[in-house]
Chain A
Amino acid sequence: MSVLVMALLTCYAAGVVVPACLPSRPTHQNLVAHSLACTAGLLGVALGIAGLIAPEPLTTSLSSTIPYLSFAIRLDPLAAFFLLTISLVGVAASIYALGYATEYYGRASLGALGSLFNGFLLSMTLVVLADNGFFFLIVWELMSLLSYFLVVTEHEKADVRYAGLFYLIMTHVGTAFIMLTFLIFFQEGGSFSFEAFRHPEQPLPEGMRTVAFLMALIGFGTKAGIVPLHVWLPYAHPAAPSHISALMSGVMIKTAIYALVRVYFDFLGGQFPWWWGFVVLLVGTVSALLGVMYALMEHDLKSLLAYHSVENVGIILLGIGSGMIFQTYGLNEFAALGLLAGLYHTINHAMFKALLFLGAGSLLYATHTRNMEEYGGLLRRMPWTGACFLIGAVSIAALPPTNGFVSEWLVFQSLFLSFHIPSILLKLILPLAAAMLALTGVLALACFAKAFGISFLALPRSSHARHAREVSVSMRLGMALLAIICVVLGVAPMVVVPLLDRVVTPFASVSIEGKVLALDGWALAPVNVEFSSLSPPVLALLLVALSMLALGLVVAFGGLVRKRYYKTWGCGINLTRRMEYTATGFVQPIKRVFSTIYQPTVKLETEFLEESRYFAKRRRFEFHIEPVFQKYLYDPLVAFFTAMAERLRVIQAGSLHLYLAYIFVTLVVLLLIAV
């Protein structure tokens, strides 16, 4: 296995170095960079599976001359699971990139793009493998910086630069909190190795544990995109090239989930007061609901998908949070179930979100716009992309028989089992969270009905869409691969659950494989078959069989009468694209019902004909929704820091002598304190 690790790291490293050194022929650079990434990804998949089934975690270490730093690697089931997730998406994204990167020929350096792509994958891989806090922080920072460079690939555009800057600041604020978390552990453990974090010499005092919990939630939450720290996501994810967006939204934010599980269940040993789980649950609920609500109002396809990442991180946290609550009350089996549900949703979200971003990339490639209102009728022009996007949409809307449904069902179950908790408050709050999850689910359904319906169905809404062509084979392959994985994860949970069980067993100190899988693996039945059960393969078969029955009924009752094609009735005039329902119109009722959240402002200007006030020459309609978090949280913060900086400018006179004096005074003060 250590050979596999070396091969994997070498492959990525080669992917970083070789494309940058190649002579500047974009075709070659593209091919080399992405085939190396693909190979490394396949090795990663193999390593991930090996790590999941290996009885003992694999550890290797390379010490360094820097104190406290050692390049230690540990592949336990949790790390292996995330490695598998990252690598699967990595493989699909690199296959896709072979075709998609042609878009950047002549516009950006393919050598740089390819190197950064490999470097980004390498840093994410190392984040989940790292077994030393110092090392972790280095690769974490590397991951943030490389993704920043990738975000600003199209740096000639002002909004891309703004998105990049926003992301850079947010991610560093997050990193600061992560550093503080690790420093707390370091204080007690005396070492930066994760082993010392896990088993400190003396246990952390209660207050420090709480601080560590909150710092980790803020620090990693920034990367994961929890509300209200999510504001960078809808800027940064859409700005990046689409295969990078797929990696960022699909897996980079999952490294934060990894780290949260690592810190809470591993370092803090799964000993929580009840309110920790409650806080995580609350953050999850709010993120899920607000994420999907803002997504609904978004008509830039990639921003919409970015907001959905906020939603899905919320769903993942619902699973993890309920697990934490159960852990508090010693209900280990349910704790394992909650954690398992959260992790199942993690891999599922990685797959369908990457798929959807690749699909959005294909639309961007074919039409050169991200505005949904300019799509339309694309299913006929791009049937493969359309079919893959549809599978992604059905998955993210959590509809059977796809993967999103299975994991959301498990999250529902873990919330429903709350009646075992002795606290009456939590007994009521967990079902309420389930109701909010149901609302989130249907709103996601509405959102993807909009996204797919407006983009792919009916008439083209612009000449861009009318002239769209199906994308190249490699791009289709990348999407198809993820679409297949989505369906497989949906109908074959009996393969996934035992692997996930190996991940959660060490944390919940109980194996629940036998409890979750019933009827020889044909059904999922947390607790027992009598309480609740679900058989995804049987449901899938049932849907197929009953569709056949419907077809049979059609043939039996009427025979297959040839259908006649005719134009849509347009009330007497020919149907044009201007008569179609728009994305804005589609979500109007939702905007109105939830207007307290959106606080929309509508502006309607009408210019009338001079002859008569009854005929409008032109109308102009504008609507905006209030960016609440930016306006009431971030803008005041930015204003505060700017004002502070203005004040501090007094001591920054630019004179070298003055600075030397500062240093001298500081030195004297420090010496005085030391004495």
Chain B
Amino acid sequence: MLQAIIVVVGQIIVLLAVSPFIVGLIRKVKARLQLRRGASVFQPYMDIAKLFRKQPVVSSTTSWIFAVSPYILFASTLAAGLLVPVFVSKTPLNFAGNIIALVYLLALGTFFLILAGLDAGSAFGGMGSSREAIVASLTEPAMILSIFAIALTAGSTNLSTIVHKTALLEGIVTDPSPHLMALASLFIVAIAETGRVPVDNPATHLELTMIHEAMVLEYSGRYLALVEWAAGLKLLVFLTLIANVFAPWGIATSVEPAALGVGLATYLVKVSALAVLIGVIESMFAKLRLFRVTDLLGVAFILALLGLVFFYVLRG
């Protein structure tokens, strides 16, 4: 019991502490690729700390939904993070929910953020909310199918079980093609869900291109801090998911101090590598038009479906 509590608390601390770093790292990579020096990778920490101390200005047309949404967003994203194994393969909260629960927890945050976007009454917020709704709608089927393809190969929909089995090389598939297709699909989904280029651009403040940023435009002070932190968390949750499901090497399969140390170190390396990859992708691609996102997510859906077909065909 005590051990379980320590692991959960440790996971909360790691997720909270690492997420701004990932955001900073992506920005740094992009700056470097643009031959700029860029801000320190620790800049997002300072931003969040500063935002917490700032006085929030709240629109007088808003209701309590606007004030409550950042908290719900933050809590639901963090709760989703607790269902994913981070540096220990067996998360104590494994039983609390499988990967479907993770998807729906993230959806809870999205729902309240969409409402908050509508609450201030400005057209920007409404536009962001409306676009967020369509992007979310298109990602979900691909996400469920790719998850299912992974679940089939591991024989479980619980993330800890999937990661633990793969880490111990149990039930490894002879042909990795279904896995690879699901990985590609999930990667596209992650990019769309976390609002990165080419689906959305987190650095933009131009009304024609904003999705997520338009939705949270009215937020300031501590609310903005929570929203930004939660956005970083969501990104980290997806990266953790991809890193540990497809490459669980090094993750601690027991709660020994040495194993934990190795687990933590490899985890940091893995998510940093993925962050660098996202930074490179963001520098290489231009943002897609909103109505071209459909095609990209259609590709993700088809990939996941192919993964499923391959799995059954290979198994005979």
Q: Which A residues lie at the B interface, using CB under 8 A?
A: 377, 379-380, 386, 390, 394, 397-400, 405, 409, 412-413, 416, 419, 424, 427-428, 431-432, 434-439, 441-443, 445-446, 448-450, 452-454, 456-459, 518-519, 522-523, 525, 529-535, 538-539, 542-544, 546-547, 549-551, 553-554, 557-559, 561-570, 575, 577, 579-581, 585-590, 592-593
Contacts and interface: CB of A to CB of B under 8 A. Distances in A.
B272 interface: no
A445 B308 contact: no
B119 A586 contact: no
B174 interface: no
B218 A534 contact: no
11 contacts: A377-B61, A412-B144, A416-B151, A446-B133, A529-B95, A530-B161, A533-B97, A569-B122, A581-B126, A586-B130, A593-B294
Interface of B: 12, 48-49, 51-65, 70-72, 74-76, 78-79, 82, 93-98, 100-101, 103-105, 107-108, 110-111, 114-115, 117-123, 125-127, 129-131, 133-134, 136-138, 140-145, 148, 151-152, 155-158, 161, 218, 221-222, 225-226, 290-291, 294, 301, 305, 308-309, 312
Secondary structure dominating the interface of B: helix
A135 to B, nearest CB: 43
Contacts of B97: 533-535, 539
A593 B291 contact: yes
Given A431-B308, A442-B140, A586 B53 contact: no
B55 A445 contact: no
A450 B10 CA distance: 38
A355 B309 CA distance: 42
A635 to B, nearest CB: 31
Given A427-B312, A530-B156, A580 B126 contact: yes
A422 B218 CA distance: 54
A531 B158 contact: yes
Given A431-B148, A529-B95, A532-B156, A394 B111 contact: yes
A438 B290 contact: no
B156 A565 contact: no
B63 A435 contact: no
Nearest to B143: A438
Given A458-B120, A553-B52, A561-B222, 5 more contacts: A405-B104, A412-B100, A448-B111, A450-B133, A532-B98
B101 A409 contact: yes
A532 B157 contact: yes
Q: Which of A380, A525, A542, A551 has the most chain B CB within a 10 Å cutoff?
A: A542
A558 B53 contact: yes
A533 to B, nearest CB: 5
A434 B58 CA distance: 41
Contacts of B101: 400, 409, 534, 539
A593 B293 CA distance: 10
In the A-B complex, the 4 residue pairs with the closest CB atoms: A581-B126, A558-B52, A458-B121, A453-B118
A522 B94 CA distance: 13
A542 B96 CA distance: 9
Given A439-B140, A579-B123, A424 B312 contact: yes
A527 to B, nearest CB: 10
Contact of A453 (B129, B142, B143): B129
B107 A589 contact: no
Contacts, number: 282
A550 B75 contact: yes
A573 to B, nearest CB: 12
A359 to B, nearest CB: 15
A438 B140 contact: yes
Given A409-B100, A533-B95, A561-B222, A554 B138 contact: no
B57 A438 contact: no
A445 B136 contact: yes
Contacts of A437: 144
B130 A442 contact: no
A531 B155 contact: yes
Given A458-B119, A547-B72, A564 B58 contact: yes
B75 A547 contact: yes
Contacts of B72: 543, 547
Contacts of A585: 126-127, 130
B104 A581 contact: no
A547 B56 contact: no
B172 to A, nearest CB: 17
A457 B119 contact: yes
Nearest to A448: B111
Contact of B115 (A380, A449, A529, A562): A449
B75 A534 contact: no
A561 B56 contact: yes
A557 B52 contact: yes
Contacts of A457: 62-63, 65, 115, 118-119, 121
A431 B309 CA distance: 11
B136 A442 contact: yes
Contacts of B145: 431-432, 434-435
Contacts of B59: 565-568
Contact of A435 (B156, B221, B301): B301
B122 A557 contact: no
A397 B111 CA distance: 9
A391 B80 CA distance: 21
B144 to A, nearest CB: 4
A586 B118 CA distance: 10
Nearest to A402: B108
Contacts of A434: 144-145, 148
Contacts of A454: 118
Contact of B120 (A405, A439, A568, A589): A568
B178 to A, nearest CB: 12
A590 B120 contact: no
Contacts of B54: 558, 561
Contacts of B63: 379-380, 386, 456-457
A90 B312 CA distance: 48
A419 B48 CA distance: 46
